[in-house]
Structure 1
Amino acid sequence: MKIEADVNTQALNIAPKAIGAASGDTIVRLADVRRAFGETPAIDGVSLSVERGEILGIIGRSGAGKSTLIRCLNGLESTDSGSIQVEGMEITALDERRLQPVRRRIGMIFQHFNLLSAKTVEDNIALPLKIAGERREERKKRVAELLELVGLSDKAKHYPAQLSGGQKQRVGIARALAAKPSLLLSDEATSALDPETTQSILALLKDINRQLGLTILLITHEMEVIKRVADRVIVLDRGRIVEEGPVWQVFANPKADTTKSLLQVLTPELPPVLSHRLNPVIGDHAVVKVQLSGDAARRPFLNELPGVTLLHGSMDTVQGEPVGTLFLSLPAHDKATLQKAVDYLTVHGTQVEVLGYVSGNA
């Protein structure tokens, strides 16, 4: 099922002046940021940057430091050391008064929506504008534009209790965009939603980013979310960055154990009916795992291997690049011929591993 979100680019103007000094194309820059609670480091020397128009995904298990990091970014949490710049302005030493204009440049959407139950949809969206002192006429105009943007023009007078989870999140997105931010922070924004609604929200975020150039920093524990919308991914573990890179490259060849673990739900595994038969030393056939990506996945190569059988696997497209895992059976009677086949696969694959051997037909 394909879900698309139409964005009215004229209705949503996101290009106000930056608040800080000129910072090129970098919206956010962190340098050696540290934050501990007692003896426990929540953020342990994190350095990263978010470029204008980029969707950066930050992923990690519970307790990895994601929430602390995002609170430091919007000034809700102080740092122990290090530098945080938003549009060229250093924010770590700013007091509450001087943080206010910075926060207006940062939109925020939350896992549990954080809508005011006693206010209507239009009043929830208008709240940041009211706090900023916008005139009533301007607020009404802006709210109407945002409701059209997120597809809820007919829900303006509804209250949050009358909305579905996906509709509530659309209100949250509209509210986050009300002040025309340069950066949108998404903190587990789809974790409370069903899979179909998650797709529609991610499609909306992707379209807003693509058509309007809005920079998005996406905090999540779901690799599926990263795969669908992010350009680049950073993997956090115990407050440290353990891996980062373009999404398709990280998916194709994960280095860190944390990344491999998070990818398990998306990566095919050898079926138990075969894995239970594996012998580490002997057998008629070798079972080989081959990971493919990029140009290597576009070229035919299996027809060059005599006696090869495709046992299991899958191919996907991430950021327009093919990424996949194949499980093959190769004749193992002649070790030299088997080694030649493995060497051939190594040339064509990102990573090749002989998992073991089976006797009889694989």
Structure 2
Amino acid sequence: MNQHVKAEIAEPVHIRPTATEDVVRLVGLKRSFGATAALDGVSLTVRKGEILGIIGRSGAGKSTLIRCLNGLERPDSGQVFIESREIGRLSERDLQPLRRRIGMVFQHFNLLSAKTVEENVALPLKIEGKPKAERLARAAELLQLVGLSEKAKAYPASLSGGQKQRVGIARALAARPALLLSDEATSALDPETTRSILALLKDINSRLGLTILLITHEMEVIRSIADRVAVIDAGRIVEEGAVWQVFADPKSEITRSLLGAIRPQLPPEIAGRLVAGEGAETILKVDVAGDAARGPLLSDLSASVPGPIRLVHGGIDHVQQQPVGTLFLAVPDSGGLAQTIAFLKDRGARVEVLGHVAGPV
């Protein structure tokens, strides 16, 4: 199978719209189960043509949020707007056409084992009452898009996990939705397959202008393809912004914790030597992004502040084409610490004193 096969399909390529066009708008959403508040006043927008990632730990409220979006849960209070239409008071019958505007990609694929790949992809159109010829033509277009044309007559049991998820994505696109909801779509996949699925979603977003909302607990998924990220914790949105800005300067403790798996951390052999009092060297954590990370920061620092300041760990990464870095510096306690901190802050860096070590690291 060639997973990189691309195909022109029926939809026109969209120009990126302005940020004022919202496909989803949530206003003060609340939903409780007994004494437990699953959602506690969530307000959020998903703009047309963007990829928004919603990230949080298990139990944070992600699943309840997605069920409120597709009308499977009714909020206790607040409003859910899909393409400017408030869905909270719609009957089940009136919700059906709206649900066709929302495609769903699931963690465990949810394919029907007794149906072929093309029948699985065409199923939403069959439910909608479309003629068989139209259904099969659309399925063929979408299987070509996801690189699985040769698997049209196969059954799900013969597919790999990545192939099953590609079928799930094709099925979610069958009815030409305005919004694609991805609910932990890569959590059951290995890293290489995850990368290929995320690349496919990014390609679909770019080529079709399709709005995508990603629900995940993995920061690497957010980093890979999202435009914006919203962090949910205990049913509340605790942080929101462009991905590179949130990565560069996380405001909440939960965001810093989630970033811990993919951002540089002080090596344990150095962290284990830190003490609160004075020592031979002070260890600084320096977060830089944008212009502060583009220039010769360390060489300028060495030229401006006397003393053997050393980089002991860290580096510069790129998120959304923006440099984002975390550096760990060792600064002699004998002098220059205050100057070093002042210099770094003046350059736009965020500086944290982690502690002191008795000897060189």
TM-score grouping bracket, smaller chain normalisation? over 0.9
1:37 aligns with 2:33: yes
Deviation per CA, 1:298-329: give whole Å up to 9, x if none: 01121232311110002211011011111111
Q: Is the 8 A contact 1:115 1:172 kept in 2?
A: yes
Aligned length in residues: 351
Question: Map of 1:6-155 to 2, 5 A cutoff?
Answer: 7-8=6-7, 10-13=8-11, 25-155=21-151
The residue aligned with 1:172 is: 168
SS at match of 2:200: helix
Residues 1:203 and 2:199 are matched in the alignment = yes
Contact 2:6 2:147 in 1 (8 A): no
Q: Decide whether the 8 Å contact of 2:13 with 2:207 is kept in 1.
A: no
What is the SS of the residue equivalent to 1:226?
Answer: helix
Q: What's the CA shift for 1:15?
A: 8.6
Pick closer, same or farther for the CA change 1:14–1:103 going to 2, 3 Å. farther
Counterparts in 2 of 1:31 and 1:5: CA distance versus 1, 3 Å: farther
Q: What's the counterpart of residue 317 of structure 1?
A: 318
- SS of corresponding position for 2:258: helix
- Write out the 4+ residue segments of structure 1 that deviate beyond 6 Å after TM superposition: none
Instruction: Find the residue that maps to 1:112 and give its secondary structure.
Output: coil
Deviation, 1:285, is 1.5
Which residue of the partner structure matches residue 265 of structure 1? 261
Given the two structures, how large is their TM-score scaled by the length of structure 2? 0.94
The one-letter code matched in structure 1 to 2:144 is: E
Q: Percent identity?
A: 63
- Is the CA contact 1:4–1:203 (under 8 Å) kept in the aligned structure 2? no
Cα deviation, residue 14, structure 1: 6.6
- How many Å separate the matches in 2 of 1:45 and 1:350? 33
Q: Following the alignment from structure 1 to structure 2, what is the Cα–Cα distance between the partners of residues 157 and 350?
A: 57
RMSD, aligned CA:
1.7
The answer to whether the Cα contact below 8 Å between 2:3 and 2:148 also exists between their aligned partners in 1 is no
Q: Cα gap change, 1:320/1:67 in structure 2, threshold over 3 Å: closer, same or farther?
A: same
Distance 1:254 1:5 in 2: 35
1:78–1:92: 8 Å Cα contact kept in structure 2? yes
Q: 1:279 Cα shift? A: 2.2
Shift, 1:7, TM fit: 3.8
State the one-letter code of the partner of 1:184: L
Counterpart CA distance in 2 for 1:14 and 1:32 is: 35
- Asked whether the 8 Å contact 1:129–1:178 carries over to 2, the reply is yes
- Paired with 1:89 and 1:144, the residues of 2 have a C-alpha distance of 32
> CA contact under 8 A between 2:51 and 2:228: conserved in structure 1?
yes
1:296 to 286, 292, 297: 292
Gaps spanning 5+ residues in structure 2: where? Answer: none
Q: Residues 57-89 of structure 1, C-alpha deviation per residue, up to 9 Å, x if partnerless?
A: 000000001000001100111111111111111
Distance 1:51 1:259 in 2: 22
| Contact preservation (8 Å) 2:3, 2:146 | no
- What is the CA-CA distance between 1:349 and the residue it aligns to? 4.3
The one-letter amino acid paired with 2:329 is L
SS in 1 for 2:353: strand
Change (3 A) 1:34 1:15: farther
Q: TM-score, normalised by structure 1?
A: 0.94
CA distance in structure 1 between the partners assigned to 2:121 and 2:220 by the alignment: 29
Instruction: State the alpha-carbon separation in 2 of the partners of residues 293 and 177 from structure 1.
Output: 37
User: 1:199-232, CA deviations, whole angstroms, 9 ceiling, x for partnerless residues?
Assistant: 0000000010011100000000000000001000
Q: Distance in 2 between matches of 1:259 and 1:361?
A: 32
1 CA distance for matches of 2:282 and 2:60?
39
2: distance between equivalents of 1:233 and 1:30?
Answer: 15
Separation in structure 2 between the aligned mates of residue 177 and residue 14 of structure 1, nearest angstrom: 14
Is contact 1:5–1:207 with CA below 8 Å preserved after alignment? no
Q: Is the 8 A contact 1:15 1:180 kept in 2?
A: no
Deviations 1:268-309 (A, max 9, x none): 111122122222221121111101111100011212323111
Cα distance in 2 between the residues matched to 1:242 and 1:274:
31
Task: Measure, in 2, the Cα distance between the counterparts of 1:67 and 1:276.
Answer: 39
Name the stretch that deviates more: 207-216 or 349-358: 349-358
Structure 1 residues 5, 229: closer, same or farther in 2, change over 3 A? farther
Q: State the distance in 2 between where 1:360 and 1:36 align.
A: 54
Q: Give, in whole Å, the separation in 1 of the partners of 2:128 and 2:277.
A: 70
Give, as a single letter, the amino acid of the residue that structure 2 aligns with 1:199: R
Closer, same or farther: CA 186–64 of 1 in aligned 2, 3 Å: same
Q: Does 1:221 align with 2:217?
A: yes
Helix, strand or coil for the counterpart of 1:175?
helix
* Contact 1:108-1:185 within 8 A present in 2 as well: yes
Q: Does 1:233 align with 2:232?
A: no
